[in-house]
Chain A
Amino acid sequence: MVDRENALGRLLDYKIIPNALFVDEEGRLVGKWIGFAIDRPECREAVEAFGSGRLEPFERTPDGPPGAPGVPPGQTSPSAGLSPLERELYETRIRLGAELLKAGRAEEAAAEWQKALRMDPENFVLRKQIWKVRFPERFEPEIDYDWQKEQLARERAEEAACGPDGCEIPER
């Protein structure tokens, strides 16, 4: 399935991928693992426990202590600090960016996403979307993961000094 509108991201408020969601037979969310990787033994064990009915409801994040069952729900989202109005604005900007991209207005899309990123600098999925638009040569024909790490470090340094939009040029 292809989540073009990032519906699951909005619903579950994740900021990085890959993730795994465990849904029981009645359609209830019983597990949420941010940073899930099937090549890790603990991830495979969770899938096996889910299949055999031994899985207790859990939530895991990359920041959770190793081996711990998870961290309390609600502690995984930096954007949880936004007011309801700010949250609506944040999500609207993300949706507007998606619509602009579909209309072929890529730089305007990236600009809207940049505004959203300013509101939640921890949204790494959004940050990568902006890179994909502004630096397509880093994604085709091969994905340059080393560049991504370097770019993230550069942007983090700029944001620490000046904010996620970089330094403002003072008006004369």
Chain B
Amino acid sequence: MTQLGAQVPDLSFPDLSGRTVRLSDFRGRKLLLFIWGSW
């Protein structure tokens, strides 16, 4: 489990258009991940 202060692994996910997005794509910028579900 990733602890505070640790590097977040460079995960990748598809976006809604099917394009792959990596967390490292946002390196150099602050990133806020809001996680929700549609159910």
A contact residues vs B (CB 8 Å cutoff): 1-4, 7-8, 11-14, 17-32, 36, 38, 47, 50-51, 57-59, 73-74, 77, 125, 128, 132, 139, 143
Contacts and interface: CB of A to CB of B under 8 A. Distances in A.
Interface of B: 1-11, 13-16, 21, 23-24, 26-37, 39
Contact of A8 (B24, B28, B29, B35): B35
B30 A128 contact: no
A29 B31 CA distance: 10
22 contacts: A1-B15, A2-B14, A17-B36, A19-B36, A21-B31, A21-B33, A22-B31, A23-B23, A23-B30, A25-B28, A26-B7, A26-B27, A27-B27, A28-B8, A29-B4, A29-B6, A47-B32, A50-B32, A77-B1, A128-B37, A139-B39, A143-B39
A27 B7 contact: yes
Contacts of A19: 34-36
A59 B6 CA distance: 13
A109 B6 CA distance: 33
Given A2-B14, A22-B32, 9 more contacts: A1-B13, A11-B1, A14-B35, A18-B34, A23-B23, A28-B5, A31-B4, A73-B4, A139-B39
Contacts of B30: 22-25, 50-51
A4 B1 CA distance: 19
A58 B15 CA distance: 28
A84 to B, nearest CB: 12
Given A25-B28, A143-B39, A8 B11 contact: yes
A24 B30 CA distance: 5
Contacts of A20: 32-35
